[in-house]
Amino acid sequence: MRQIELPEEYCGVLEAEGIPVSKVCYAARYDRGEGGEYQEGFALLLSESLLILEREDSGRGRNRSRGSVRKKKALALGEAGRIAVLRDIGGGMLTAGKDGAEERLVLFSNACMSEMLMLERLCSMRARGEEVTEDAFRMEKKKERCPKCGTIYPDQERKVCPKCMDRRSVFLRILAYFRPYFGQIIVMLLCYLGVALLNMVWPYLNGTVLYDRVLAKDEAFMELMGVPAGQYALLLGMLIVVMFLTRLTNQALGMIQGVLTAKIVPEVVKEMKSKVFEAMGKLSISFFNSRQTGSLMTRVLDDATDVTGFFIDGLPYFFIHVFTILMTCAVMFRMNWRLAAVTVVFFPVLFLLSFRMLPKLWSCYGRRHRANRSMNAQINDNIRGARVIRAFGQEESEKKRFGGYNARVRTAEMAVVGYNNRIYALYSVVQNLISLLIIGLGGVMVLQGDSGMEVGVLITFIGYASQLNGPLEFLSQIFRMWTESMNSAERIFEILDAVPEVREKENPVVSEQVRGEIEFSHVTFGYDANKPVLKDITFRVKAGEVLGIVGRSGAGKSTLVNLLSRLYDPQEGSIRIDGIDLRDLSFESLHRQIAMVSQETYIFMGTVAENIAYARPEATREEIIRAAMQASAHDFICRMPDGYDTMIGSSGRELSGGERQRISIARAILCNPRILILDEATASVDTETEEAIQESLEKLVIGRTTLSIAHRLSTLRNADQLIVIDNGRITEEGTQQELYELRGTYYKLMELQTKALAMRGIE
């Protein structure tokens, strides 16, 4: 039993009633009075009863919570009837009743909805005589917040706050992808280092050596180099050869580095894309329902490239350029400390301003990604919905809508470019200012005859100062590259770290063959935890039986079969196949034994044979043809240009609705499942095609446990039993004749359909 925490005043009332707090199974808070005003109270679930306590004093607003507490009502669970939550605008009410008579117990706002729904479930369990264990609370999850900034975690399983994310850990995780290429990266770094050293030598050769030694005919230098006296042309030629070899070596090292980059980058990008795509394949359907297609495509196609761009074109060069700056400054200080001091005095201010601008740049890149994501989503919608757009003549409307998204992308892009330009302008001003100061101060020193400043030394100094322009300009871009890379890395790791809501057990049950007996036991489920779609669903289907599922649109029929396929897990209750809980079965065992034919048939890009054999790629051509014949698809396939080898497009756009449906049925036949789900498989085809498909389905269901959701009730005439779902609950169950004689929901639906079909001249 979990520990219940109640305010002290409520505990006092319990003690006065002779009830220890330890006897309280669950406490649900409510916050509305009978007149809609604020009213604090608790509904307490005891072992055999429900006790309601509330504040009784008067006052305004939330100041009412300061008064005394009284007992409002006590109900015995066995006598109170069904405890239920009824929803209303902005909240709901807790009721108790049986035999059609309901008593309103308390009112509450949406802030208390999750607690009241939990109370409803626990009361149902107690009414059935079940023990309230800790497992009963497993779906009661309050949204947790970041302790630093208070932001709700976007993914409650990860507990990672995007505002407080440790970007250093993201950086280190990305580095792990380059570990297999450690040796090649070392060679690249040596190439970078060699290039940096040669760049350090070049200004010295081009300045001091050329002007102050060779052209000045320095005899001591000639003797040092071993050149005979007076052979000035030979010394100049030697210098030219050395300068040529320096440039040649520089270019060769650059080419080696380029070749290694061309090998490493595509491999790392491929690995990242594969990891993201693999991770997406393991996620639950709810993950995709809550995200735009354009956004997910961007993460697979673009983000991996953006991440690796920094680590190949940014990070190695960053160390080389920092090394170049440090070495250049050291040489400059050795040559003339006064000019060197003028050069480096601006660096601390430059880097400080850059780091101050970094958070804003980060925000700009995030905004640009969101704008591109929205635009990509609209492009995807327009491509997939081109037929609807044309049919309703909404081209201009979609053009205007795209213009709005495009304008947001432009604005976001301009903000990024504008901020990048500010950083670049800051570095450019510093570069030019340093060059002017060196030329001005160095020129004054030469004119004043400063013994430490010769023309060649000044030219060398100017060369080294100019050599700082490249590293400084690169550093102005490294912030952009870092920001773009880490933004993309966060989005990639959101996919990689996402935990599927539907997970396989560590040691699942592996079942080679199932009989097909299905049992739903007190199943409650909602896509939103506070809005259940199915409520306390219980039924049983024997192996080989056909169960028809009937109900109005939105009643929860498709949700029920989605639970059986384990696209989602129930929040309450259990689903069993042959007595084994679905959560204990391995995914392979479950998916091998279940096949679905739905009204939304998806045809993949590929041949007809590949689409039929999708669930069994190893199937022979004979097996594929046999399945197509049983699905009444063989004739129209043979009329195609290349028969079973005909290429058909994404979503089957080259096929009619009936043809797509029959290929889907052939796919299910080839899979040979023990459990078959038919989710309004004939809802989107004409009557003649429906009859042909129905014949195929009647062959398909033989010997299999079948759950059939049908738009036309007459197609369920061969069902062994039927259940009627209304507002998420099973309201009627039995054979077709039994339900018709009840004259309830099924009878009304049957009468309406009979009249509608009669008006169309269909029996």
DSSP 53: E
Q: Is 710 left (phi over 0), alpha (psi -120 to 50) or beta?
A: beta
DSSP 655: S
User: pLDDT under 50 in the chain at which residues?
Assistant: 1, 58-65, 139-141, 156-158
The CA angle 160-166-170, to the nearest 5 degrees, is 90
The CA angle 600-603-606, to the nearest 5 degrees, is 175
Q: Does domain 518-759 have CATH number 3.40.50.300?
A: yes
Q: What is the amino acid identity at position 234?
A: L
Q: Which of 610, 609, 614 is nearest to 596 (CA)?
A: 614
Q: Which residues pair with 270 in a beta bridge?
A: none
- Determine whether 590 is exposed, middle or buried from the number of CB atoms within 10 Å of its CB (0-12, 13-18, 19+): buried
CB neighbourhood size of 602 (10 A): 12
Q: According to CATH, what is the number of the domain 167-497?
A: 1.20.1560.10
242 contacts 205 by C-beta, under 8 angstroms: yes
Rounded CA gap, 380 and 365, in Å?
22
317 contacts 192 by C-beta, under 8 angstroms: yes
Rounded CA gap, 39 and 32, in Å?
5
Q: According to CATH, what is the number of the domain 8-137?
A: 2.30.29
Rounded CA gap, 17 and 180, in Å?
70
Residue boundaries of the structural domains of the chain: 8-137, 167-497, 518-759
CB neighbourhood size of 128 (10 A): 10
The confidence score (pLDDT) of residue 483 equals: 75
Collapsed DSSP state (helix, strand, coil) of residue 529: coil
Rounded CA gap, 138 and 653, in Å?
44
56 contacts 67 by C-beta, under 8 angstroms: yes
303 contacts 369 by C-beta, under 8 angstroms: no
Which pTM value belongs to this model? Answer: 0.61
Collapsed DSSP state (helix, strand, coil) of residue 397: helix
Give the total residue count for the chain: 763
704 contacts 516 by C-beta, under 8 angstroms: yes
CB neighbourhood size of 251 (10 A): 12
Helix (H) / strand (E) element for 629: namely: helix 621-630
Examine domains 8-137 and 518-759 and report if their fold is the same: no
Tokens of 554: 């939105």
